[in-house]
Amino acid sequence: MKYTQIVFDIDGTLIDTEQAVLCSFQDTVKELTGKTLPLEEMAFCLGITGEDALKRISMENVPDALNLWIEKLNQCSHMMSLFKGIPELLEELRARGIKMGIVTSKTRVSFRNDFEPFKIKKYFTTVVCADDTREHKPMPGPLLKYMEVTGEPAGRLLYVGDSIYDRECAKSAGVDFAIAGWGSKGRVKEAEYCLENPLDLLDVL
């Protein structure tokens, strides 16, 4: 088997968080600036760290703004859900003896708040969050950190994600990339593998 470890992004890949992220970002910006950003203009914030997203709109006092965004995102938790087919995929990968990990732009706090309630953390042996690296997606740092921690070479990893930032991170790190088409919704078109639904990953293996 070519790949010994499958590495997943979270938002838009394992968990459908798009509406929650966009609505909470919109509410944060409105509260702090009085401006209402149209949801369709905020897709840039999907897949990068909250700090980087706030910097892109030249938000003043980014740390305080980030704390407010996290608070508002917690209030939108009812909008989040596991993508259909993800529990079955993770169970089958574990049954096949394939190790799984996570590389995400979430901070450890957001990981605990947004991810752990879904009760699938048990499937993942290694998790790299935004706090763990100085360099973030689309730079290769997060995947390089994953390789440093696990000792696995790039050629033995497959990264599954939904955003162009995920693709560029994988490409720069020399790791093969699979598009999570169920979360990407056509926004990313170039990859070693294009998956329409989570269970398609089994065909790759």
Domain CATH number, residue 70: 1.10.150
Mean pLDDT to the nearest integer, 63-67:
92
Q: How is residue 110 written in tokens?
A: 């957001």
Contact between 72 and 24 (Cβ < 8 Å):
yes
Same domain, 70 and 91: no
Domain CATH number, residue 93: 3.40.50.1000
Same domain, 88 and 58: no
Q: Which pLDDT does position 189 carry in this prediction?
A: 83
Proportion of the chain in helix, strand, coil states, percent, rounded to 5:
50, 15, 35
Q: Which pLDDT does position 103 carry in this prediction?
A: 98
Mean pLDDT to the nearest integer, 109-119:
92
Same domain, 132 and 181: yes
> pLDDT (tens digit, 9 = 90+) per residue, 19-50?
999 999 999 999 999 989 888 888 888 888 88
> pLDDT (tens digit, 9 = 90+) per residue, 119-157?
999 999 999 999 999 999 999 999 999 999 999 999 999
- Domain boundary (46, 79, 112) is at 79
Q: In the predicted model, is pLDDT for residue 1 greater than 80?
A: no
Q: Which pLDDT does position 65 carry in this prediction?
A: 93
Q: Which pLDDT does position 117 carry in this prediction?
A: 94
- What total number of domains does the chain contain? 2
- Domain boundary (79, 97, 126) is at 79
Same domain, 113 and 131: yes
Same domain, 109 and 198: yes
With 0-12 / 13-18 / 19 or more C-beta atoms within 10 angstroms meaning exposed / middle / buried, residue 33 is: middle
Same domain, 95 and 184: yes
Same domain, 173 and 183: yes
Distance, in Å, from the CA atom of 106 to the CA atom of 9, rounded to the nearest integer, reads 10
Same domain, 74 and 107: no
> pLDDT (tens digit, 9 = 90+) per residue, 5-24?
999 999 999 999 999 999 99
Q: In the predicted model, is pLDDT for residue 82 greater than 90?
A: yes
Same domain, 54 and 120: no
Same domain, 25 and 53: yes
Same domain, 136 and 48: no
Q: Which pLDDT does position 186 carry in this prediction?
A: 80
Crossing angle of helices 62-75 and 18-33, in 10° steps, is 130
Contact between 163 and 46 (Cβ < 8 Å):
yes
- Domain boundary (79, 102, 120) is at 79
Same domain, 63 and 102: no
Q: In the predicted model, is pLDDT for residue 199 greater than 80?
A: yes
> pLDDT (tens digit, 9 = 90+) per residue, 150-192?
999 999 999 999 999 999 999 999 999 999 999 998 888 889 9
Q: Which pLDDT does position 68 carry in this prediction?
A: 93
Residue 50, domain extent = 18-79
